[in-house]
Structure 1
Amino acid sequence: MRTLVDCSGALAQGLADIRLRFQVPDGFPAPVLVAAEAASRRAPTEHRDRTDRPFVTLDPATSTDLDQAFAIERAGEDLLLHYAIADVGWFVVDGDPMDEEAWRRGTSQYLPDGKAPLYPPALSEAAASLLPDGPRPAVIFTVRIDAQGQVKLEGAERAIIRSRAKLAYDSVRAADLPPDFGELAARIRLAEDRRGAARVDPPEQEVAAMIWGGYALAFRPRLQSETDNAALSLAANLAIADALLAHRTGLFRVMPAPDEKAVQRLRQTARAFGLQWPEMETLDQFERGLRPEDPKEAAFMLAIRRAGERAAYVPWREGQLPWHAAMAATYAHATAPLRRLADRYVVEATLAIANGRPVPDSASRAFERLPRVMAAAASLGGQIESAVIDLAEAVMLRGREGEIFPAIVTDVDERGARMQLRDLPIVARVKANGAAPGDALCVRLLSADPAKQRVEFAAEHQAAAMPPAAGAAAAPHR
C-alpha cells in the first residue's frame, strides 16, 4: 500500500489487525533466509564491467530496495538511456527456497507501517539492491529515445555497475542528475500526448493529525522528480514490450479503458466536488488538466485509477494484440524485479532475444503460470489497500457521529446507493430508496469504527439543487 502515509501513528492498532486478517507475511521461513544468505555471496561471472558509467538512483529517501539506476548520453539528436535493473535472476535459482517463496507471494505487499518484501532483505536491500556502497550486478537495457519520444531497445547485457549516488525525490537538485534527464522525461511525455495516453499519477494520501483534535485524510502532491523518474521506467518498459512482441513471446500488461458506465459514475463523482467537466470533453481530455496539488482534483485522480477494470498480465498469443488503454500502447513490466515476480522472467526473456538467443524454457513456462499468481497477489494487495483506506476513513470520522454531510449518488445497484461525500474524499454505500445516479443527498454519520474498519451512514433527505455538472474528484473505491 503505497498511497497512504501514517506519520502520526493513528492507524497502528488497525494496521496490526489488517496484517493478521490478511495473513501478511512477517519475515521469511528459515530455509529461505539461508538460501538468501548463500545467494548474496554468489560472485558475478557473466557480467561486463560498466563501472565507468555514471549511474545514479532516484527513489524515496528511505528506500533501500533499489531496482533501477540510470545513466543518459547523447547520440546525435537521440538520447540513449542506460537503464540498470537489479539482476535478481543472477541470485535466485528456479526451484530453490527463495524462488518457491517468491511464487507464493507474487509481489511485495505495502502498508503504511512497512512492507512484506518479495525477497529477504539480504537480497532485496543488500546484495541485489543497486545501492551506492559498492559494485553490483545488474542487467542494463539501453533504450534509444528520438526527438519525438519514440523508443527502441538497442541492447541488453549483464554488467557490473557502481552507482555514484542515492538521490531522493524530495532533495534532488538538477545538478545531481544527468544533464538530459529533464529532456528525456519531456520527450516521453510528448509521445504520451501524441498517443493519447491517459496515465494518472495521483498523489499519496496521508493521515494528518488536526490541531483541534482528530484526523483528516490529506494529499501529498507528487513531486516533479517523481514524475520525471517514472518516465524513464516507462520508456524502458515500452521498448521492452515492443521487442518481446516482435519476437512473439513475453508477458504483457493489459487494461481496458473505463466503460461508459464507469465514465458516467466519474461524472457524478466530479459533480460532487464541484469540478467543471464539460459534457463535450472526454475523460482523456479532462484528466490531462487535473492538478494533483488541488485536494479535490487529487481525489478525482484516485477515482479515475479505480474506475475501470484492473490491469492484468497476459502471455503472448498469436493474433492477439496486448493493449494497455491507459498507456495507449503495448506495455510490459520489467523494471522492478525486487518487488514483482513477473519482472524477473521478462528480464531474462529480453536478455535472450536482445542477444540472439532462444528465450529460456523456464521463462516461457513462467509466462503461462504468472497471470494467475500475479492476479492473486494483486487481489490481496487490493483488499489490503481497501481495508487500510476504510480504516483511515473511520479514524478520520471518529467523534463526528451524528453530523450531516452533503453527498451525491454516483451509482446504484442491488447493494444500495454508492455515494461520494462532497467535502471529503470518502465513498460509501447508503440505503436510499429511489435514489438515482446524480441525486444529491444529505447523510448522517451513524458510526465510525476503526476496530472494524467501517463507517455507516443513513440518508436524511434528498438535498435541493446541486451545482451544474462538473468534473473530477473522488476518493476511495468500493
Structure 2
Amino acid sequence: MPRFTAGSPAADGGFGHLRAEFELPDSFTADVLAEAEAAGVDPRETVGEDATDLPLVTIDPPGAKDLDQAMQLSRRGDGFRVQYAIADLGTFVAPGGPVDREARRRGQTLYLPDGNVPLHPPVLSEGAASLLPGEIRSAVLWTIDLDSRGEPVATRVRRALVRSTEQFDYETVQAALEAGTAHPSITALPELGRLRRELAVRRGAVELQLPEQAVNGGAGDGWALGTRPRNDVDAWNAEISLLTGMAAATMMIDARVGVLRTLPEADDDSIAWLRRSAQALGIEWPDATSVSQLLAGLDPARPESMALYTCTTRLLRGAGYTSFAGELPPSTTHAGIGAPYAHVTAPIRRLVDRFAAEVCLAVSADHDVPEWVRAALPNLPLLMSTSDSLAARVERACIDQVEAWMMAQRIGGTFEAVVLRADEARAEILVEDPLVMGKCAGENLPEGARITVRLTAVDVVKRKVSFERA
C-alpha cells in the first residue's frame, strides 16, 4: 500500500494544522487536572455491592486504554444472561465541578491519527475509571436475562465493584472462537450475537457494510489509508452494546424521563427512490422484502451492493438526541436500529452516557432521578449534536488529508474504481487500491459499475482529489 512519509515538508509529520483549524484543545487546565487526580480514589470506599467474582473480560481494538465495557455471557436455562459492566464516571465526576464543566464543553473524545483529544483527563479515562484487567473498579453493572430467542425478559442495573480478568481484541477473540479455545465468559457470544442479528433484521435495523476508511501508520513509518477490519466478533460485540442501549431506552420511556438517540423513519419518497436505485443497479427487491432484509441478503463484495449501501445512507440522515422529563416526545425510535435506543455504554468517551446511566440507576432502584441530571437533560441534545458534527468533520478531514498526501505524486495515474453514486455530470467513486473516495467528472456514469479513472488534480491544502473517467 502506498504510504506518505511522515516528516515531509508537505505534512510536517502530523495533524497539528488540523488541530489548529478546528481549534481543538491540546491540554486540560490545572483545576481540571487537580480534580481528576483527587477523584481517582479507591472505589471500595464509595461502592457497596461487590461483584468482583464475575469473570468479566473486555474486547477492544489492540492497545486501547480507555476501556468502557466488560462482559460475561452465560447460559441460563434455555436462554442467556448478560452481565455488562460499564465504566462508572459518576463516581469520579462531581456535578458542576471543573471536570464536569470541561466535559460538557468537549462532548466526546475526538480521535486523530497522531493522538486523541480526550473527553476526560487520562488519569481517569486511561486510569482510575478504565476497566483495565486485574484492577478493581466501580462500574454500572447491567444484568440482562434473555429467552431462547435472544429477547430480553428482565433487566437490572446498579453500581458495583468489578474486576476485569482479561483484555482481548477482536481478532484474538475471533481466532479463539474458531479454534474452540475462547474464554468461558464469551463462548456464548456467537450464538447470542447471531440471534440478536436475526432480531435486528426483523426489527428493520439498517446495517451498511461499506468499507470503513482508517488512517494507519505514523511516526517513522508514514501515514497510509486502509480499511478498519470488521469481523463477526466485532458485529456480535456491538449487539451486546445495542441490547443494553435498547434496555436503557425502555427503562427511560417507562419512567418518562431520560435522553434517547433518535432517528426519524424514512419517508415514502425516500423508500421509493431507493427502490428505483436498486432497480437501476440490477438488484431484485421483492415487494414483501423490507430494507433491512434486502441489505442483509446482499454480498458486500459486489460493486452494486456497495453502490446501494451508499444510496441507503440517505435513509439515515437526521439522527439526533431527544430528552424528556414528563411528557413523552412524539417519536422515541431510532429508525436505523428499529427500536428506541439510548447511549449508555461509552461514558469515558461520550458525555451523554454518564447522564443516561444516572437516570437508569435511579429508575432501577425506584429512586428519584437526581436534580442535577434533570437540570442537564434539556441541554444535552444540542451539546451532543454539536459534538457529533465536530467529530465527523475532524475524522473526514484527517482521511481527506492523508488521501491528498498519498495521491499528490500520482497525478495522471489510472486506478480501478467503483461508482457509488452519480448525477448527470459527476459521480462519487471508491478507488479500491489505495482505498480513496473522491469525485469523478463524467456524464451519466453507471452506479455500481467498475470503471477506470485518471487522477487529474490534487489540492493538498484543501484536501481535495479529483478524477475523470479514463
TM-score bracket for the superposition, by shorter chain length: 0.7 to 0.9
- Does 1:392 pair with 2:410? no
Q: Distance in 2 between matches of 1:289 and 1:91?
A: 45
Q: Distance in 2 between matches of 1:8 and 1:169?
A: 29
- Does 1:148 pair with 2:156? no
Identity, % of aligned positions: 36
1:267–1:277 Cα contact (<8 Å) kept: no
Unaligned 5+ segments in structure 1 are: 1-5, 461-478
Q: What code does the residue aligned with 1:287 have?
A: L
Q: What code does the residue aligned with 2:55 have?
A: P
Q: Distance in 2 between matches of 1:383 and 1:291?
A: 30
In the TM superposition, residue 437 of structure 1 has moved relative to its aligned partner by 8.5
Structure 2 vs 1, CA of residues 16 and 303 (structure 1 numbering), >3 Å: closer, same or farther? farther
1:143–1:153 Cα contact (<8 Å) kept: yes
Structure 2 vs 1, CA of residues 118 and 81 (structure 1 numbering), >3 Å: closer, same or farther? same
Deviates more, 1:184-193 or 1:421-430: 421-430
Deviates more, 1:22-31 or 1:399-408: 399-408
In the TM superposition, residue 55 of structure 1 has moved relative to its aligned partner by 1.2
State the partner residue of 1:410. Answer: 421
- Aligned residue pair count: 445
Structure 2 vs 1, CA of residues 183 and 279 (structure 1 numbering), >3 Å: closer, same or farther? closer
Aligned residue for 2:160, secondary structure, equals strand
In the TM superposition, residue 451 of structure 1 has moved relative to its aligned partner by 3.4
Structure 2 vs 1, CA of residues 114 and 134 (structure 1 numbering), >3 Å: closer, same or farther? same
Q: What code does the residue aligned with 1:386 have?
A: R
Structure 2 vs 1, CA of residues 307 and 403 (structure 1 numbering), >3 Å: closer, same or farther? farther
In the TM superposition, residue 400 of structure 1 has moved relative to its aligned partner by 2.8
- Does 1:229 pair with 2:237? yes
In the TM superposition, residue 97 of structure 1 has moved relative to its aligned partner by 0.6
Q: TM-score scaled to structure 1, two decimals?
A: 0.81
1:288-367 equivalent positions in 2, closer than 5 A: 288-291=296-299, 301=309, 304-305=312-313, 308-316=316-324, 317-318=327-328, 320-367=330-377
Q: Distance in 1 between matches of 2:209 and 2:371?
A: 36
State the partner residue of 2:201. Answer: 193
Structure 2 vs 1, CA of residues 117 and 422 (structure 1 numbering), >3 Å: closer, same or farther? closer
Q: What code does the residue aligned with 1:139 have?
A: V
In the TM superposition, residue 114 of structure 1 has moved relative to its aligned partner by 2.1
**Which residue among 387, 401, 406 is the counterpart of 2:411?**
401
In the TM superposition, residue 195 of structure 1 has moved relative to its aligned partner by 1.3
1:18-33 equivalent positions in 2, closer than 5 A: 18-33=18-33
In the TM superposition, residue 266 of structure 1 has moved relative to its aligned partner by 9.8
- Does 1:100 pair with 2:101? yes
1:378-389 equivalent positions in 2, closer than 5 A: 378-389=388-399
Q: TM-score scaled to structure 2, two decimals?
A: 0.83
State the partner residue of 2:131. Answer: 130
Instruction: Let me know the Cα RMSD of the aligned residues.
Output: 3.5
1:415-426 equivalent positions in 2, closer than 5 A: 417-420=426-429, 426=436
State the partner residue of 2:380. Answer: 370
Deviates more, 1:112-121 or 1:328-337: 112-121
Structure 2 vs 1, CA of residues 362 and 306 (structure 1 numbering), >3 Å: closer, same or farther? farther
Q: Distance in 1 between matches of 2:168 and 2:419?
A: 43
List per-residue Cα deviations over 1:52-107 (Å, max 9, x = no partner). Answer: 11111111121111111112333322212111111100100111110000000001
Q: Distance in 2 between matches of 1:121 and 1:447?
A: 41
Q: What code does the residue aligned with 1:135 have?
A: I
In the TM superposition, residue 171 of structure 1 has moved relative to its aligned partner by 1.4
1:221–1:293 Cα contact (<8 Å) kept: no
List per-residue Cα deviations over 1:206-239 (Å, max 9, x = no partner). Answer: 4579xxxx99744243122211211111111111
Structure 2 vs 1, CA of residues 453 and 52 (structure 1 numbering), >3 Å: closer, same or farther? same
Structure 2 vs 1, CA of residues 404 and 307 (structure 1 numbering), >3 Å: closer, same or farther? farther
Structure 2 vs 1, CA of residues 451 and 436 (structure 1 numbering), >3 Å: closer, same or farther? closer
In the TM superposition, residue 245 of structure 1 has moved relative to its aligned partner by 0.7
Q: What code does the residue aligned with 2:421 have?
A: T
In the TM superposition, residue 397 of structure 1 has moved relative to its aligned partner by 2.6
State the partner residue of 1:239. Answer: 247
Unaligned 5+ segments in structure 2 are: none
Q: Distance in 2 between matches of 1:412 and 1:455?
A: 18
State the partner residue of 1:454. Answer: 464
1:66-81 equivalent positions in 2, closer than 5 A: 66-81=67-82
Aligned residue for 2:142, secondary structure, equals strand
List per-residue Cα deviations over 1:333-384 (Å, max 9, x = no partner). Answer: 1011001100001100000010111111222222211000001101101111
Q: What code does the residue aligned with 2:245 have?
A: N
- Does 1:139 pair with 2:140? yes
Structure 2 vs 1, CA of residues 437 and 371 (structure 1 numbering), >3 Å: closer, same or farther? farther
Q: Distance in 1 between matches of 2:272 and 2:404?
A: 28
Q: Distance in 2 between matches of 1:77 and 1:359?
A: 35
Q: Distance in 1 between matches of 2:285 and 2:298?
A: 16
1:14–1:391 Cα contact (<8 Å) kept: no
Structure 2 vs 1, CA of residues 436 and 296 (structure 1 numbering), >3 Å: closer, same or farther? closer
Aligned residue for 1:52, secondary structure, equals coil
- Does 1:219 pair with 2:241? no
List per-residue Cα deviations over 1:151-174 (Å, max 9, x = no partner). Answer: 245211111111111122121223
